[in-house]
Structure 1
Amino acid sequence: MGIFTRICNAAKASGSSTPSELVPTATVLIVGAGSTGLALAQGLRKAGIPCVVVEKQSGLDSHSRDWNMGLHWGASALRSLMTEDMWARIQTVQVDPSQPTAPKDALNFMNGQSGETMAVIPVQNFYRLRRRKLRGLLSEGLDIRYGKNLRAIKYSSDGKRVKATFQDGSTMSARLIVGTDGARSTLRQLVLGPKSGAIRRLPFSATFVQARFKPDQARYLRKFHPLYIAGINPAGFFSFFGMHDAPDPDHPEQWTFFFYISWPSSLEEQDETASWSNAERLKQVKEFAKSFTDPFRSAFEWLEDDHPVWYMGLTDFDPGADGHRWDSHGGRVTVAGDAAHAMTYQRGQGLNHSVTDAAKLTEAVKMFVSEKKSQQAAIAAYEEEMITRAGGEVRLSTVNTEMLHNWAKVLQSPVLTSGMKPPSDS
């Protein structure tokens, strides 16, 4: 039973019922139950450090939308945060649990128009993980409170604690609050202000699809690669096509594929089309797909005209940019994952940096809890390393996105010249 649960039970036993009367306390309060926050919580739990995770949604599965993520050089960091029993089940959260992770693998980049292979990017231990399943695995044994939408934070005058206040009026105090609440982080905007803490919009957009197909169609689409393939189109488009869920390798009608097309799109165009319907988004991306070869062309062509899609403009947040350095108030507040460094996804780095944040922040907390370092020094060291490492990747990934959509510069793009290695190895 976690510390939060014990306090909640005590409050109920004493007759307290209003949200404002419930004031739980923990060493670390994690705001956001995404992959980063849950991985951090597992690392702290493994170290015996009390923590509570709060999440604004009503549950882990409250959103119908799901996606998958690539884990490669960050795998050792994630493993360090999990128990051996939990890591032994990592295969169960793969997009296709029947496909073992190869020690040496490659991501193929093809000319999206001609089908010619442009590059074969080597990658070791390339896991393709379903976000929903990963979160389910990482949530085991944790103290998670749902429906907690952060409203404000306040620092104690003695320099030792920080209190979070939520939209329902309840509060919680901790020695450290960590924002892992995503690219549009509320905590980041609280510590930096709404302007400096805002996400930066980029002149690129993408439309995503998840779909099942008839058995013969599914087998045909998967023959290009059992898990993933990328297409760079000379017309200025980029596409990724891959498996999202293959519960039974012998039943292709049950396979769910995940694919998208991204393209240059000015902020003015994004604003002008903000009210477009699903049908308009689908019609647009189907038209883009006509300039592609297979598997991209057929995958979009075979969609019904009312098939659901989701659209988004690309964004980033560079923690190393001017005006983006927050005050940790003596090491009492910090951010991690997308909340700290939202990045574009064509180089496949996001999850790797996020779980690395979680591992390094776990070590920082252990340092100040054991009094080997002051809290301020431990968090400052974490932030300095994270900002250098992940901030560099934000900038590199944005340059990569720009180049992948510019045929004259494609061959100089970071993903084709340096692969998917972290910036320090590129």
Structure 2
Amino acid sequence: MSELPVLIAGAGISGLLLAQHLQQQGVPFRLFEQDAAIDTRSGGWGLTLHWGLPALRELLPDHLVARLPETYVNKVAAARGDTGRFQFFDLQTGSALYSVPAAERIRVSRVRLRQLLATGLDIQWNKTLQSIDSESAPDRVTARCEDGTAFTGCLLVGCDGSRSRAREMLYPHGPKMRPLPVQLLGGAALYSPEEMAGAEAIDPFLFQGSHPETDVFFFFSLLDTPNNFDDSSKDKYLCQIIISWADAKGIAVPGDNAARLALIKSLTANWVEPFRGLVHNLPDTTEARSIRISDWMFRPAQNHAHPRVVLVGDSAHTMTMYRGEGANNAIVDVLDLTKRVDLRSLGSLTPEALREALAAYETDVFTRADPSVRNSRQACLDAHDFSRIVNGSPLVSARLRE
């Protein structure tokens, strides 16, 4: 085994999961992250884990697998074996057009999953990757950070997300992130049972829909339920509301938060209940965040400048949220990396052998994730064209490992 550590840039889901696996295997690593703490960008986001679950369990130590229920957004529903129906609704009539079945599926809080995966790990915070040096010696790579610190290892794994610095350095000439012609506004708020108006009975995790006349898309997700955690509200639900529409509608997103909330409510005024009420119950204090959607997919065998650097997760394949496959692909990326590269014997691998192993990993990832990126992109476009949804779309098809 090499005495040089594996360098992991980014303490997201994939970076933390890789670090947990390396720690189990006794492989030295250095994990560094640009944020100041695990909850710096806690955000109101949930993750749906389905076909990536077997890989997650294989990579994690048993004691952390046993603690996964600590991350569930609705532990009561999960305990009764409810995997959700994930229905898609016609927001003019209220009829359910589709459901997305799954033999196994869990919905987790992203920040709570990260907190669990960070258990027992030494993470270097406030370390923003500035440059990569892989020319000084053929058996090592050095990551330099903006604060002047540097980490030297035998391999650098870029797990630093959709705005990856590592990716920019590996692919300085492109391709660039591809923006999609969609505007999205979303927010999270606490709702009483009365304000929920039976939403949990529709689905204990999430549902979505669109209006056939306006093509405005709706996504509703539970992020927490009463008494779910010690710090949960005892009588309210934490809910995430997202609406989106095509640029072709010519509706600009206002710069003022109050105007953004007003726009959300005006675009949903003709929806049938309870969907209209779920949007119109958003408090005036809600932060209405605007997100510009983009995606990106790497191409194998194009990283020639830094042969000891490889990408994992959103750094390698940034997907839209309309199919919820990003986290599942990120988890399986880590497993594929551990299968293709003998991380316990990196010190004995020649540069040529390492590059061959990384190339095999990249082929695995591209073969699996490229269809997910394409399907997620099409799902995003179809979400804003009701005629495409009713005629079948990746937006409402089952989530199966490609």
TM-score for both structures, normalised by structure 2 = 0.90
Structure 2 regions of 5+ residues with no counterpart? none
The residue number in structure 2 matching 1:199 is: 177
Q: Measure, in 1, the Cα distance between the counterparts of 2:40 and 2:100.
A: 36
The residue number in structure 1 matching 2:354 is: 375
The residue number in structure 2 matching 1:262 is: 244
Say if 2:314 is the partner of 1:338. Answer: yes
Q: How does 1:135-214 map to 2 (within 5 A)?
A: 135-193=114-172, 196=174, 198-214=176-192
The residue number in structure 1 matching 2:376 is: 397
Label 1:314 to 1:251 Cα distance change in 2 as closer, same or farther (>3 A).
Answer: closer
Q: How does 1:13-412 map to 2 (within 5 A)?
A: 26-100=4-78, 102=81, 105-193=84-172, 196=174, 198-218=176-196, 220-234=198-212, 235-248=214-227, 253-265=235-247, 273=253, 276-320=255-299, 325-327=302-304, 329-330=306-307, 332-366=308-342, 369=345, 374-410=353-389, 411-412=391-392
1:320–1:388 contact (8 Å) kept in structure 2 = no
Label 1:153 to 1:124 Cα distance change in 2 as closer, same or farther (>3 A).
Answer: same
Say if 2:359 is the partner of 1:415. Answer: no
1:188–1:339 contact (8 Å) kept in structure 2 = yes
Displacement after TM superposition at 1:277 (Å): 1.6
Q: Measure, in 1, the Cα distance between the counterparts of 2:357 and 2:233.
A: 51
Q: Measure, in 2, the Cα distance between the counterparts of 1:47 and 1:247.
A: 39
1:184–1:198 contact (8 Å) kept in structure 2 = no
Q: How many residues align?
A: 392
1:105–1:125 contact (8 Å) kept in structure 2 = no
Q: Secondary structure at the match of 1:253?
A: coil
Q: Residue deviations 1:248-303, cap 9 Å, x none?
A: 1697633201121111126x969x64x71211221111112213223331012112
AA paired with 1:73? W
Q: Measure, in 2, the Cα distance between the counterparts of 1:147 and 1:318.
A: 27
Q: Residue deviations 1:368-403, cap 9 Å, x none?
A: 727589211211111111012112211121112112
1:318–1:394 contact (8 Å) kept in structure 2 = yes
The residue number in structure 2 matching 1:12 is: none
Label 1:292 to 1:26 Cα distance change in 2 as closer, same or farther (>3 A).
Answer: farther
Displacement after TM superposition at 1:236 (Å): 1.2
Higher RCO by CA contacts (8 Å cutoff, separation 6 or greater): 2
Q: Secondary structure at the match of 2:39?
A: coil
Displacement after TM superposition at 1:362 (Å): 2.3
Q: Measure, in 2, the Cα distance between the counterparts of 1:251 and 1:59.
A: 24
Q: Residue deviations 1:106-157, cap 9 Å, x none?
A: 3211112211110121112111010110000000111210000110001144
Q: Measure, in 1, the Cα distance between the counterparts of 2:106 and 2:70.
A: 11
Q: Name the % identity.
A: 30
Q: Measure, in 2, the Cα distance between the counterparts of 1:171 and 1:161.
A: 13
Q: Secondary structure at the match of 2:93?
A: coil
1:318–1:395 contact (8 Å) kept in structure 2 = no
Q: Measure, in 2, the Cα distance between the counterparts of 1:263 and 1:188.
A: 29
TM-score for both structures, normalised by structure 1 = 0.86
Displacement after TM superposition at 1:92 (Å): 0.9
Displacement after TM superposition at 1:27 (Å): 2.3
Q: Measure, in 2, the Cα distance between the counterparts of 1:40 and 1:247.
A: 33
Displacement after TM superposition at 1:98 (Å): 2.3
Q: Measure, in 1, the Cα distance between the counterparts of 2:315 and 2:324.
A: 17
Higher mean C-alpha displacement, 240-249 vs 103-112 = 103-112
Q: Secondary structure at the match of 2:5?
A: strand
Displacement after TM superposition at 1:189 (Å): 0.4
2:380–2:395 contact (8 Å) kept in structure 1 = no
Q: Measure, in 2, the Cα distance between the counterparts of 1:121 and 1:65.
A: 26
Q: Residue deviations 1:388-423, cap 9 Å, x none?
A: 21122111211121122112211231233x41113x
Q: Secondary structure at the match of 2:31?
A: strand
Label 1:338 to 1:95 Cα distance change in 2 as closer, same or farther (>3 A).
Answer: same
Structure 1 regions of 5+ residues with no counterpart? 4-24
Q: Measure, in 2, the Cα distance between the counterparts of 1:291 and 1:366.
A: 57
Q: Measure, in 2, the Cα distance between the counterparts of 1:279 and 1:103.
A: 37
Label 1:27 to 1:388 Cα distance change in 2 as closer, same or farther (>3 A).
Answer: same
Higher mean C-alpha displacement, 206-215 vs 342-351 = 206-215
Q: Residue deviations 1:154-208, cap 9 Å, x none?
A: 1144311110110011111111111111111111001111x51532211012111
AA paired with 2:304? D
Displacement after TM superposition at 1:39 (Å): 1.0
Label 1:173 to 1:246 Cα distance change in 2 as closer, same or farther (>3 A).
Answer: same
CA RMSD of aligned residues (A): 2.5
Label 1:128 to 1:104 Cα distance change in 2 as closer, same or farther (>3 A).
Answer: closer
Q: Measure, in 2, the Cα distance between the counterparts of 1:109 and 1:355.
A: 26
Q: Residue deviations 1:12-59, cap 9 Å, x none?
A: xxxxxxxxxxxxx84211111111111111122222211111111110
Q: Measure, in 2, the Cα distance between the counterparts of 1:253 and 1:292.
A: 27
